[in-house]
Chain A
Amino acid sequence: MVDFSGRITLGEGSALLRKTIRALLEEERNLLLLNLGDVDYIDSSGIGELVSAYTAVKNRGGDMKLLNLTKKVRDLLQITKLFTVFEVFTDENGALRSF
């Protein structure tokens, strides 16, 4: 499980997400649970990085799921229909068991 906090936006936030996922994939860790419980803001660039990460993980035969979305992030994923793409959990144990 990877914990993120703050803003995932154009610039440092989305770049950090990208680097983190890349590093994990290079370590051949491709079952990822992203805990976004402390992410209070995401823009379209951040959403793009989430989608890019998801695609990269899936292409390597892995899976990526999301945990503890804040209301703003959840609403954004819903209106962009990405809520139908990502598996989202509110319970860490349940999320980990789902892999």
Chain B
Amino acid sequence: MTPETKHLEVTLQTQVESVNVAEEMCLRVAEAAGFGEDDCYRIGMSVREGVINAFHYGNQEKPDKKIYLAVHLTADKMIIHVLDEGKGFSLADVPDPLAEENLLSTSGRGIFLMRAFMDEFDVVTGQNGGAEIIMSKKLPGSSESNGQGGQDAQGGQGAGGSGKTPHQEA
């Protein structure tokens, strides 16, 4: 672990309130990292959508399952991992919410919003078989900071996921 890297990990219950807890926690980290109001909003929204995804789709709202949230602050980006205890999913199977036939769907916009709001976004299969969302936003003032969204996440530990469940120590 380099001196510039900070880590925060928390295990959340599969319940609605966990969405608020996760959002609030990540907002505080984002503010402390120097993100402005607009980026904090985008990060907070993305965390909400990631945990909602884990709560509803991954863990099927089953209270005996957990959601693992990890936040890493490197020298140039804030990286967020959300891991559920579900069966995993492929991004290719997620319908396009902007397609005409899906516009009036009552769900299915979370992935789209995370991709829109974060600089990097990806979904991999976690060590436990669940879905692991990995998304990141470049710190303000970093050399690559340009506000563009939707690219595959590289993560602080290389592409393809963390290699361990987020609740383990780095």
Q: Which residue of A lies closest to B51 (CB)?
A: A10
In the complex, the answer to whether A79 meets B17 with C-beta atoms within 8 Å is no
Q: Quick one: CB contact mask for B27-65 with A, threshold 8 Å, 1 for yes? A: 000000000000001000100110010010000000000
Q: Which residue of B lies closest to A11 (CB)?
A: B16
For B107, the chain A residues whose CB sits under 8 A away are 44, 48
For A51, the chain B residues whose CB sits under 8 A away are 104-106
In the complex, the answer to whether A80 meets B97 with C-beta atoms within 8 Å is yes
Q: Does B112 interact with chain A (Cβ within 8 Å)?
A: yes
In the complex, the answer to whether A85 meets B109 with C-beta atoms within 8 Å is no
Report which residue of A9, A10, A51, A79 has the largest number of chain B beta carbons within 10 angstroms of its beta carbon: A10
Q: Does A97 interact with chain B (Cβ within 8 Å)?
A: no
In the complex, the answer to whether A43 meets B105 with C-beta atoms within 8 Å is no
8 Å CB contact of A79 from B16, B19, B55, B116: B116
8 Å CB contact of B103 from A10, A11, A49, A85: A85
Provide the bound-state CA to CA distance between A55 and B105, in Å.
10
Q: Does A24 interact with chain B (Cβ within 8 Å)?
A: no
Q: Does B113 interact with chain A (Cβ within 8 Å)?
A: yes
For B170, the chain A residues whose CB sits under 8 A away are none
Number of residue pairs spanning A and B whose beta carbons lie under 8 angstroms apart: 50
The total of chain B residues at the interface (CB under 8 A) is: 22
For A84, the chain B residues whose CB sits under 8 A away are 103
8 Å CB contact of B41 from A11, A72, A81, A85: A72
For A55, the chain B residues whose CB sits under 8 A away are 104, 106
8 Å CB contact of A43 from B45, B104, B106: B45
Q: Does A68 interact with chain B (Cβ within 8 Å)?
A: no
Q: Quick one: CB contact mask for A57-87 with B, threshold 8 Å, 1 for yes? A: 0000000000000001000100111101100
Q: Does B110 interact with chain A (Cβ within 8 Å)?
A: yes
In the complex, the answer to whether A80 meets B48 with C-beta atoms within 8 Å is no
For B52, the chain A residues whose CB sits under 8 A away are 10, 43-45
Q: Which residue of B lies closest to A48 (CB)?
A: B106
Q: 8 extra interchain contacts, Cβ-Cβ under 8 A, other than A10-B52, A54-B104, A85-B104?
A: A10-B16, A11-B19, A44-B49, A44-B107, A49-B106, A51-B104, A72-B41, A79-B116
Question: What 10 A-B pairs are tightest by C-beta distance, nearest first?
Answer: A48-B106, A44-B109, A11-B16, A52-B106, A44-B110, A43-B48, A81-B98, A48-B107, A51-B106, A10-B19
